Amino acid sequence: MPHEVLARKWRPQTFDEVVGQEHVTETLTNAIKSGRLAHAYLFGGPRGVGKTSVARILAKALNCPQRNGANPCNKCTSCVEITEGYSVDVMEIDGASNRGIDEIRELRENIKYMPQSGLYRIYIIDEVHMLTLQAFNALLKTLEEPPEHVKFIFATTEPRKVPVTILSRCQRFDFKRIPPGQIVSHLKKIAQDEGIEIGIHELSIIAREADGSMRDAESLLDQVVSSIGPKVTGKDIQDILGVVDTGLMAEMTEAIIRGNQNRCLEIVEDIYNAGYDIKSFYSALMEKFRNLLLIVVGAGEALENYEEDGLETARSLAQEAGLGKLQAILDLLIKREEDLRFTSHPRLVLETVLIRLCNLDRYLSFEQIIRKIEGLEKLLLGRIPESPGQVAETSARRWNQVEPGARNWEGFLEFVKKNDRPMATVLKQWEYAGIQGDTLKLSGGGESFSSTYFDDTGRKQALESYCSAYWKRDLAVEFVRREEGPKLAGENQATPEESSQQTEERLPESIEKVVRAFEGRIISKEKIKGGKK
């Protein structure tokens, strides 16, 4: 007798045998028992989770004359014909190869014929999303008002690609990935019935590789048994499926947590030389740290089924690392996953990620940086403003962070420019006349815009804040307009003639710069022979 693969041999034949889709089977069972059947169903979900199997079970149940509750008997002629695939009342159509409008037109012509032996003519269209738009449009009227003896069952892995007009005419059921624990339990039952010696740990490896697909899990088990016989060990599975040795993975996890970057790089060398896929190893590493994170937060019970051998070690490592470090490790692994996926040098990317992971303690997190900045601000500002009225004072203290050195007018202009460029432009129109006591005096005026710019109280207060921040003491600002004529306080009183002459004749610009640089003032002017001053 020819060998029958496990995926076909163990295909579920009743609703009770379907694994991991209870939300679907219970709804369909109740609908059959109550007679509240829809004319069209859409089954969507990942590959290998039971969509087509449930469609066949539903078809058998609808046409079975000896139905036991909602489950088909699987013994009558109708059930046997549907199971074997040659029933004239149940037609399975591959949407990928029969996707055109001509095939749908032919289907529309055939649905008017009554079923030969059962109650319904049932059309199962697999991968229905592959139909063309014209084919979908041709189905619309039929789906809206089908004959009473016709039922449609659509199956697809891409329900989002099915037009909304089709979805609205169907009852939709979303199939989910099967949890690893349920896959392990089902594989264990298969192994016992087939006489296969395999442990829970080995079945767990197969379940993880299947990624929620029962059909893939059964196919992988069949592949392993075909390769090495009915007695299976973990080493055999790792060699056949290309899975990284669990011991190496445990060593890598421990090395990362303890910051042993040299050991991490040695393990990468071993993995690379052994021919393992770097990207698969990276995914397994992410899964490993996810498991540790679940253990730390108290959700480790879900890992009992497929981490049994090393569960105590995993718990110890999880507690050693702590929640914060595990979160930081996973954050970095997730961020760099895309780099690894699209690079032509996966080993290099993996090595740089591992080095960064081993040195996480030397890097500050974003939250830590923010806290340090806030601490520095408190130290420099002395206190935090308690009311909106203190904002100007606080801003002045923050601006007080200037580099040490001589305080002069040119430096002050640059300081203001960094904080308020328009004000700095206006200040250049005024002349620095020195600081006397707690007052900084500026000379200028005229009818220009700059002469009235600081008449605004807010602008003047802002300027005084800048002055206090730059010169590191409280300063008031006094503006002396030239047309007003009074001498600046502290200057030697000159005769009216000298005052008039000083107003008319200004010092050379080079001398004015020297005066401003040294924060000085002109005490007197003397005539030099030759008519110059």
Residue 397 pLDDT: 43
Contacts of 126 (CB under 8 A, 6+ apart): 52, 92, 93, 94, 95, 155, 156
Q: Tell me: do 148 and 280 sit in the same domain.
A: no
- In-domain check, residue 221: yes
- My answer on whether 45 and 109 are in the same domain is yes
- Residue 505 belongs to what H/E stretch? none
Q: Is residue 507 part of a domain?
A: no
Alpha-helix residue ranges (DSSP H) falling in 47-163? 51-63, 77-84, 101-110, 133-144
Q: What is the CATH number of the domain that holds 184?
A: 1.10.8.60
**Does residue 510 lie in a domain region?**
no
What is d(CA 60, CA 69) in angstroms, rounded to the nearest whole number? 13
- Closest to 398 measured CA to CA, from 321, 307, 343, 465: 465
Residue 76 lies in a domain: yes
In three-state secondary structure terms, 467 is helix
Same domain, 90 and 149: yes
Return d(Cα 73, Cα 405) in angstroms, integer.
96
Q: Are residues 196 and 158 in the same domain?
A: no
Residue 259 shares a structural domain with residue 132: no
Residues 162 and 263 in one domain: no
Is 396 within a domain?
no
Give the end of a domain, one of 360, 381, 402.
360
Q: Do 94 and 225 lie in a common domain? A: no
Q: What is the CATH number of the domain that holds 62?
A: 3.40.50.300
Using the CB atoms, write b or e for 488-522: b if 16+ within 10 Å: eeeeeeeeeeeeeebeeeeeeeeeeeebbeeeebe
Are residues 320 and 252 located together in one domain of the fold?
yes
> In total, how many domains does the chain have?
4
What is the pLDDT at residue 41?
95
Could you tell me where the DSSP H helices lie in 308-365?
Answer: 311-342, 346-358
Task: Give the residue from 337, 360, 383 where a domain finishes.
Answer: 360
Residue 464 covered by a domain: yes
Q: Tally Cβ neighbours within 10 Å of residue 321.
A: 23
Secondary structure of residue 123 in the 3-state scheme: strand
Same domain, 32 and 156: yes
Please say which residue of 331, 360, 389 terminates a domain.
360
Same-domain pairing of 208 and 257:
no
Q: Which tokens belong to 277?
A: 């896929």
What the block records as the tokens of 447 is 């009818």
- Going by C-alpha positions, the residue among 159, 176, 87 that lies closest to residue 123 is 87
Residue 259 maps to a domain: yes
- d(Cα 173, Cα 167) in Å, to the nearest integer? 11
pLDDT for the residue numbered 483: 54
Please say whether the beta carbons of 28 and 42 come within 8 A.
Answer: no
pLDDT of residue 189: 93
Tens digits of per-residue pLDDT, 342-358?
888 999 999 999 999 99
Same domain, 86 and 163: yes
Per-residue pLDDT for the chain (533 aa), expressed as one digit of tens each? 577 889 999 999 999 999 999 999 999 999 999 989 999 999 999 999 999 999 999 999 999 998 888 999 989 999 999 998 888 999 998 888 887 888 888 888 888 889 888 899 999 999 999 998 988 988 888 888 888 999 999 999 999 999 999 999 999 999 999 998 899 999 999 999 988 888 888 888 888 888 889 999 999 999 988 888 888 887 778 788 877 777 888 899 999 999 999 999 999 998 888 888 888 889 889 988 998 888 888 876 656 444 555 677 888 888 888 888 899 999 999 999 988 888 889 999 999 999 999 988 776 566 667 776 777 666 655 544 444 444 444 444 444 444 445 578 888 888 888 888 888 888 888 888 888 888 888 887 655 556 677 877 788 888 888 888 888 888 888 888 765 444 444 444 444 444 444 444 556 666 765 666 555 667 666 666 554 44
> pLDDT tens across 64-77, in order?
998 888 999 989 99
Q: What is the pLDDT of residue 527?
A: 62
CATH at 285: 1.20.272.10
Q: Between helices 246-257 and 278-296, what is the axis angle to 10°? A: 60
CA atoms within 13 A on the CB side of 515: 14
451 and 355 in one domain? no
As a whole number of angstroms, the distance between CA 199 and CA 203 comes to 6
Within 1-44, where are the H helices? 6-9, 22-34
Q: HSE, CB side, 13 Å, CA atoms: give it for residue 63.
A: 31
234 is in which domain, residue-wise?
180-241
